[in-house]
Amino acid sequence: MVQQTAFDADVIIVGGGPAGTTLANLLGTYGVKTIVLEREADIIDYPRAVGIDDEALRTFQTTDLAEALLKDMIQNTLLRYHHSNGKMFAEVGPKTKPFGWPRRNLFIQPLTERTVRNGLQRFPHVSLLAGHEVQNLKQDADGVTLTVKTAEGEKTLRARYVVGCDGGRSTIRKLLDIKLVGDTHPWRWLVIDVRNDDRFEPYSAIYCDPHRPCMVIDLPYGHRRFEFRLKHDETEEQMSKPEEIERLLRTRLGPDEKPDIIRARIYTHHSRVADRFGKGRVFIAGDAAHLQPPFFGQGLNSGMRDVMNLSWKLAMVVQGKADPKILDTYEQERQHHAEQMVKFATGIGKFYAPYSYLTEYFRKAFFWLVQRLPSMRDYILQMKFKPLPYYERGIVDHSNAGGKSMVGRMMVQPRVADAEDRAMLLDDAIGKGFAIIGINEDPAAQLTAEDKDYFRQIGTIVQINRSRRGKVGWSADPDTLVLDDLDGVFRDLLLKYPKQRFYILRPDRYVFAVCDRHELSASVKRLRAQLGEPRQEALPMAAE
């Protein structure tokens, strides 16, 4: 007979949408026994989110799904802004790949969700239970017990930790009595999705009109999205009528264009962030933790940042490689950036709808100037204005940063080559755990035997040589991974920061520390102190 305290899983995820299934794939990759509970019987068959960025694709790279997902995406999509007279005044067309992937990509959510869900089938220790709705939860010192409603009746499931990825109306958030702080906007937008659209307009178009701002977004496989902001005196009942939907659609369609309308729905937008990202052994992520207007397509991407941040910490804790205290850093690191992204998306929404034609005139003058300043033009064209996460607190070590450094920021991801001269992206070469990277030097030469043994339990020691250096200066330590800096990115980092020869990367590819050879051993010891001494939780798993 199974003990009452036994666990059904290490982690139970509530919600089988993009954030929940991505987290489950990450935990599956890390070898964590995981259950996903999803209330609906199947994937919702219409698109909601439509954009994914390079940071999110790097997350999917960790769990070997990025290439499969890209097969159904339009990559490097242009974004064009237009005045109320229809004339284009700005274009965003990012071509650089600092994190190894295209920066702006468009997708159809049901297709993407299906690929991510299918990815779970690779892991015998991960299961998704559809038609399971959480009713209640109870925490104790050792774990969390969930009361779950199913078609067959009520049952209980128990896990060491629970993560609520159950959307903006999150049951888990409500059960934890966590508040969403912020505003609900008076703006209402009619969103119309169509298919069988064959026009050649291969970009996202934003029409910044004080009278009727709207967006037209080119999607894969002949789909297109239209979004129109409604006026204050236009009621939901009125604007939901087929003739009104057709009327608005016709303002952006040619006379001979007759695409099929898949759905039309009116949305009210929110700018809200949870006042906490968890309590005890239960956490929230994705829309359960923050809601933002969709104007820069960062809602889903912010959820990807959440689950990437949380996944490796949960894995290290349940596998006895770190102290549970590291889970406190999830909120420390993610809450502030979520607030930044909500403010950014809210500001973009105001930009789409200038207050008056006079405001539009000043914006026109500003962008006329921008087009004539190469640095400003590049700043917009390459999407450098998007706020990137920066961790001042959490699992970071600023001891040797000395002003500007990469500490607390995501490391770039160039191409490297291994000993057989096979080219690959950095993450694919260095593995899925921590990494110490030495530029033109072997980090192992600066570490004690104890430090090396500890670090190799949690990651990889790497030497990246100047491109085509050959065997000169090859690592003397047979367990050090030696790579070739094909793109010259690490060469340029060393030229820019000559005293920062060593980088310690976290599993989510944020930089924990930078240092010279004299400080490397101390940096590893500070990492060990922050992760805490390994601890095994002894309670058993439930019988299969």
Residue 369's pLDDT is what? 66
- Average of per-residue pLDDT across 303-320: 97
Q: Report the range of poorest mean pLDDT among 127-131, 207-211, 216-220.
A: 207-211
Orientation angle between helical segments 18-29 and 54-62, nearest 10 degrees: 40
Bigger pLDDT: 467 vs 351:
467
Bigger pLDDT: 325 vs 386:
325
405 has a pLDDT exceeding 90: no
Residue 538's pLDDT is what? 44
- Average of per-residue pLDDT across 358-370: 65
pLDDT band of residue 472 (cuts 50, 70, 90) is low
**What's the CA gap between 53 and 55, in Å, rounded?**
6
Q: Encoding tokens for residue 42? A: 């199947």
Among residues 287, 279, 313, the alpha carbon closest in space to that of 19 is found at: 287
414 has a pLDDT exceeding 90: yes
347 has a pLDDT exceeding 80: no
Residue 5's pLDDT is what? 64
351 has a pLDDT exceeding 90: no
- Average of per-residue pLDDT across 442-456: 95
Buried b (16+ CB within 10 A) or exposed e, 522-534: ebbebbbebbeee
Among residues 283, 414, 430, 267, the alpha carbon closest in space to that of 349 is found at: 267
Bigger pLDDT: 307 vs 207:
307
- The per-residue DSSP string of 290-319 comes to EE--STTS-HHHHHHHHHHHHHHHHHHHHT
Q: Report the range of poorest mean pLDDT among 180-189, 253-262, 356-365.
A: 356-365
Residue 543's pLDDT is what? 47
327 has a pLDDT exceeding 70: yes
Q: Report the range of poorest mean pLDDT among 182-196, 376-390, 400-414, 508-522.
A: 376-390
Task: Classify residue 524 by its DSSP letter.
Answer: H
Q: Report the range of poorest mean pLDDT among 48-57, 81-90, 414-423, 431-440.
A: 81-90
Spacing of C-alpha 472 from chain mean position:
39
Residue 513's pLDDT is what? 96
Cα-based distances in Å from 317 to 393, 418, 458:
19, 31, 12
- Average of per-residue pLDDT across 61-83: 94
Q: Report the range of poorest mean pLDDT among 96-110, 332-346, 375-389.
A: 375-389
3 has a pLDDT exceeding 60: no
- The per-residue DSSP string of 116-157 comes to HHHHGGG-TTEEEEET-EEEEEEE-SS-EEEEEEETTEEEEE
| pTM of the entire predicted model | 0.93
Cα-based distances in Å from 391 to 156, 334, 519, 524:
38, 9, 21, 18
**What's the CA gap between 122 and 127, in Å, rounded?**
10
Q: How many CA atoms lie within 13 A of 242 on its CB side?
A: 3
pLDDT band of residue 489 (cuts 50, 70, 90) is very high
Task: Report the 10 Å Cβ neighbour count for 246.
Answer: 13
Bigger pLDDT: 365 vs 384:
365
| 357, 84 Cβ separation under 8 angstroms | yes
Length of the chain: 544
**What's the CA gap between 475 and 330, in Å, rounded?**
36
The shares of helix, strand and coil residues in the chain, as percent rounded to the nearest 5, are 30, 30, 40
Residue 91's pLDDT is what? 81
355 has a pLDDT exceeding 60: no
- Average of per-residue pLDDT across 369-394: 68
Amino acid found at 272: R
Residue 368's pLDDT is what? 63
Q: Backbone phi, then psi, for 319, in 5-degree steps?
A: -95, 5
The 3-state secondary structure of 325-370 reads: HHHHHHHHHHHHHHHHHHHHHHHHHHHHCCCCHHHHHHHHHHHHHH
Beta-carbon contacts of 420 under 8 Å, excluding residues fewer than 6 positions away, are none
Phi-psi region of 232 (alpha: psi -120 to 50; beta: other; left: phi over 0): alpha
Report helix, strand or coil for 527.
helix
pLDDT tens profile 27-39: 999 999 999 999 9
Residue 388's pLDDT is what? 79
- The per-residue DSSP string of 49-67 comes to --EEEHHHHHHHHHTT-HH
Report helix, strand or coil for 275.
coil
186 has a pLDDT exceeding 90: no
Bigger pLDDT: 150 vs 474:
150
Q: Mean pLDDT over all residues of the chain?
A: 89
- Average of per-residue pLDDT across 184-208: 90
Q: Encoding tokens for residue 133? A: 């709705």
Task: Classify residue 208 by its DSSP letter.
Answer: -
Q: Report the range of poorest mean pLDDT among 187-196, 319-328, 378-387.
A: 378-387
pLDDT band of residue 293 (cuts 50, 70, 90) is confident
**What's the CA gap between 122 and 493, in Å, rounded?**
38
Task: Classify residue 288 by its DSSP letter.
Answer: G
**What's the CA gap between 183 and 493, in Å, rounded?**
42
Residue 377's pLDDT is what? 59
Cα-based distances in Å from 493 to 80, 500, 501:
33, 8, 9
Residue 83's pLDDT is what? 84
Bigger pLDDT: 484 vs 90:
484
1 has a pLDDT exceeding 50: no
Percent of the chain residues topping a pLDDT of 70: 89
Cα separation of the two ends of the chain: 12
**What's the CA gap between 105 and 359, in Å, rounded?**
31
Percent of the chain residues topping a pLDDT of 90: 71
pLDDT band of residue 374 (cuts 50, 70, 90) is low
